[in-house]
Structure formats: C-alpha cells, structure tokens
Chains A and B, each alone.
Chain A
Amino acid sequence: MTVVDLPPPLPVRDKATAVERAWGGVSPMLTRLAAERATGVLVREGGALHLDGGLVTYAESPLALGLDALLTAHGTVRGEVWREALSRADEHRGVARFLLSGGHLAEGALQLCHLAALYDAAYFALAPSSTPGRFRYGVGHRLGAVVPVPVAALERETLRRRDLLHRIWPDPRPDQAPLVRTRTAAAPRLTGRQQSLLDRIDGTRTAADLARELGRQAFHTLVDVRRLAAAGLIAPRPSPEPPSPPTAPGAASAAYGVPGPVPPPPGAAGLPPPGLADPPPPDIAERLAHTTDPHITLLKRLRDALEAL
C-alpha cells in the first residue's frame, strides 16, 4: 500500500475580485499609488495626473483644455485675473485660494469647473498606452486642493466614458484624425452645439482643435463628433500619402490607437507589434486598442510590466 501525498491545493483566485481588478485596471500603477497614499505626479503617454495623499487633485492632457482655458474661454474669469492668481500662488496657498478670496469666482462654480476639467483630462491621460507611466514623488499641484477625487471613482468614470463613446459610434478614428464633412441624404436636425462644431470642420481640424477653438471640454466634443459621425455627417479624413514604415519606437504606440497630437496614418494601424508574425487587420487593431475585455487588459498590463523591467 502506498501512501499518496496529496499535493497542496492550488491557490484559487477569487473570481469576483479578479474580474473587478481587470475591469478597474485602467492603470495598475495608479491603483498602487492610491493605496500607498502617494503625493506627486503620474506622467502617462496621454497626459498627467497629480496626486495628493492618494487622491487625484488635478489632471492635464495635451488633448484637453486646462481649467484656465475652460474658465477664461467663456469669460467666467478674466485672463489677467487668472495670470495674477497664478503668479501669486505658492506651494502653501494654491491658485484656487486667490480666486476665491479675491471674489473672482464663486466656490461652487470653481468646484464644478475643476471637476469638469479633471475628468476631461483624465479620460485622455488614462487612455490605453503602450509605454509604462512614470511617477515623480513631490508636492501637490499649484492649483491647490479644490475637490480631490478618489482614484476608484476616476477609473470608473473613465471606463464609463469609453463605453459611452463606443455605444454612440464604435469607430474611434474620428477622435484623433482631421475631420471632413460628408454628404448624407437624410441629415438629422442638429443641436446648436453640434451645428457650431460642424461649421468649423474643414478637413484639417481634429476633435482636439475644435474643443480648443470652441472652449469646450474635449470629451464633450468627442461625444458630439461621434454623434455626427454616426449620423453620416462627418468622417475621418483619409490620409493622402502612402503609409511609410515606422522607424521610431513610438510607432508601436500608434498601432494601438493611442491618442496623440499626430494622427496615425491608416496604414500604421495595421503594423504588427514587434514579435508578432501576422499583423492584425486595422479594424482588429483598433478594437484591441479600445477593448475592455478583461483578458486583453490583463495581457496589456503584463506587457507594460515586462517593458518596465
């Protein structure tokens, strides 16, 4: 009779938390920083998030308008008032304190505008990226704490926003490419906001340019752009020149549809990531870039971690 040593039971992953983590895993690094209550700035490919004690106090992205632009664009705060507040702010008393104490802005208006700017920029800062983020420990943002946002809330909202855009129109190309107007037989009636957007589309401006010109939130502009694309009124401009082979390492990021100031040529979207024999067709590459499938987000996190070694 032989004694069989039973192997110890394999560790079982709790499925509920695994799914939750994969879905909430917009940025594993950010989740870790929130847990350790870090203070500093997280720089990612699409933008930067400022943390104070593990809470997000400010977000910025080259694709989104800053709080200054949103406040001054519609005359809520005059430009010189903002600049003066900025010059007088130091690390103990942020810009927000000067605006409020000087009576230039009501507290509620500042809070709402700040939240709008924060979530707007964070959407782009947290876009799927091919390079790992970097974190610099340091001091909080110069604005000062207005309404700090928990990381979990920010990630949840970012995922909801991605899903919202996908439901309106599943093709993400109009988000980054220069836009052209297209003719359609049955044009729907447009809202005033959509009409002013449509009037400015000339084949060179991208959604980010339009947001800047109109002084609107960039994500809100994407919502309108996707609605217009779904209505068949606009389309991303087809690239005139043939695709050139990528030489810079940044080309791999273009393959994943990461938002950047320069739109990837359509050919680049089909280029294989290094080490892949068969390039996925462009539409698959795009779907991969915007997927929320837990398996794929896991693979992306794994790739980010390996690259960070």
Chain B
Amino acid sequence: MANTETCLKEALASIEGATGVALVDYTSGMALGTMGGSKTFDLNVAAAGNTDVVRAKMRTMEHLGLKGEIEDILITLSDQYHLIRLISGRGGNGLFLYLVLDAKRSNLAMARHQLKRIEQDLEV
C-alpha cells in the first residue's frame, strides 16, 4: 500500500472535479489526513461533522435490523457532491474517505468507481 499522503494526492489529482479529500477516523472524528480544501472549507471541521452523519445512518440501520454494510453515502448540494466511503480496517477500527466534488465538473459514477479503487490501495 502506498502511504496515506500519496493516496489522498492521487484521489485529488485523478478524480475529475475533486476539490478536497480526507481520511477520517469515525470514532474520534479526527482527520488522519487531508488534501485540498480551502480557507472557507475546513476539511477538519467537515470530517468531524460527517462522523455524525455516518453514525446516524449506522444506528438507523441497526434499528431497522438491516444486515447490509454501508458502502458509500452521497450528499448532493446545489453545487457540490460530498461522497463518504466507509473502510473497515483490520483492527475493526472504522475509517472513512470523505470526498468533495464540484458538481459542475464531476462525473459521479466515475468518482464512485475511482474512490473504490483508492480504498483498495489503502487497504488499512
């Protein structure tokens, strides 16, 4: 596996329309690595906040008794897509990749596919 920084760099460079990417530990909400973002878009804040999104969805699934695993979560804004891809680490420690896309420049199906490939590269 490549190192974290290389993986995030690749995500930002190879995924069309990507403006920011973060690798997040969802128990603590800490971003273990970020790439991109801007002064007005703090990826660390986004990472912590989206942890609650993932947790809420997991809890709901448990209440419903759904056995499936979450692969990814898509949030569509008027001008952005936010894509969350869950990674289950070997230590049972949950991580997720968080990707911000510019809606006008991106190809959603392609982005999902590429994010999946990057997750495989990470194999944490």
Q: Which residues on A are within 8 Å of B, measured CB to CB? A: 70, 73-76, 106-109, 111-112, 115-116, 119, 157, 160-161, 164, 189, 191, 193, 215-217, 219-220, 223-224
| Nearest opposing residue in chain A for B59, CB measure | A189
Chain A residues closer than 8 Å to B122, beta-carbon distance: 108
Cα distance A160–B31 when bound, in Å?
Answer: 12
Total of A-B residue pairs, C-beta within 8 Å:
65
Chain A residues closer than 8 Å to B93, beta-carbon distance: 116, 216-217, 220
Q: How many residues of B contact A (CB 8 A)?
A: 26
In the complex, B107 has a CB within 8 A of chain A? no
Contact B32 A76 (CB under 8 A): no
Cα distance A115–B2 when bound, in Å?
Answer: 16
Contact B62 A109 (CB under 8 A): no
Shortest Cβ-Cβ A-B pairs, 4 listed: A106-B1, A74-B91, A220-B27, A107-B3
Shortest beta-carbon distance from A169 to chain B in Å? 15
Q: Which of B10-37 contact A (CB under 8 A)?
A: 23, 25, 27-30, 32
Given A108-B7, A111-B4, are A76 and B91 neighbors across the interface (CB < 8 Å)? yes
Cα distance A191–B57 when bound, in Å?
Answer: 12
Contact A112 B4 (CB under 8 A): yes
Given A109-B1, A109-B124, A189-B62, are A74 and B90 neighbors across the interface (CB < 8 Å)? yes
Chain A residues closer than 8 Å to B124, beta-carbon distance: 108-109, 112
Chain B residues closer than 8 Å to A219, beta-carbon distance: 28
Shortest beta-carbon distance from A64 to chain B in Å? 13
In the complex, B103 has a CB within 8 A of chain A? no
Shortest beta-carbon distance from A106 to chain B in Å? 4
Chain A residues closer than 8 Å to B46, beta-carbon distance: none
In the complex, B92 has a CB within 8 A of chain A? yes
Chain A residues closer than 8 Å to B67, beta-carbon distance: none
Chain A residues closer than 8 Å to B62, beta-carbon distance: 189, 191
Cα distance A15–B14 when bound, in Å?
Answer: 44
Cα distance A69–B30 when bound, in Å?
Answer: 21
Chain A residues closer than 8 Å to B123, beta-carbon distance: 106, 109
In the complex, B108 has a CB within 8 A of chain A? no
A–B Cβ pairs within 8 angstroms, 5 of them: A111-B3, A112-B89, A119-B30, A164-B29, A217-B93
Cα distance A160–B48 when bound, in Å?
Answer: 9
Contact B3 A108 (CB under 8 A): yes
Chain B residues closer than 8 Å to A161, beta-carbon distance: 28, 30
In the complex, B104 has a CB within 8 A of chain A? no
Q: Which of B1, B3, B27, B90 contacts A223 (CB 8 A)?
A: B27
Chain B residues closer than 8 Å to A108, beta-carbon distance: 1-4, 7, 122, 124
In the complex, B113 has a CB within 8 A of chain A? no
